[in-house]
Amino acid sequence: MNKLLILWKTDNDIDIHNLVLPYASNAYKKQWFDQVTVLIWGASQKRVLEDKMISERVRDLKTQGIRVVACKMCAEAIHTSDYLKGLSVEVVYTGELLSDALKATDTEVVTF
């Protein structure tokens, strides 16, 4: 099984709408990877909270079958936990998730 972990940390709208979200969706729909996980980290969480279109696109990733996770430490610091959970995003501590993905031979990690 080949897996993709997208570490999404940008708050740049151009990158979010034209790279992060469409790439995650297409990587899964077009079966470029068997499993796709999007990890929302840092400033990107604030953009999800502030922009309803981004929120809806995150919700859409979930309905496609893409795993969406948010860093709990970041979410607690910027008060986005409840909102992200409302989008069915898993809000968990993610250091181990990221470290395991970086060490795995069957997982590609990209950062945006």
Pairing of strands 90-92, 67-71: parallel
Task: Tell me the pLDDT tens digit for each residue of 95-108.
Answer: 999 999 999 999 99
- Taking alpha carbons only, the member of 95, 2, 20 closest to residue 58 is 20
CB 72 within 8 A of CB 91: yes
3-state secondary structure of 87: coil
pLDDT in tens, 8-48: 999 999 999 999 999 999 999 999 999 999 999 999 999 99
Report the topology of domain 3-111: Hypothetical Protein Ychn; Chain: A, (3.40.1260)
- Predicted confidence (pLDDT) per residue in 57-92, tens digit: 999 999 999 999 999 999 999 999 999 999 999 999
Domain boundaries in the chain? 3-111
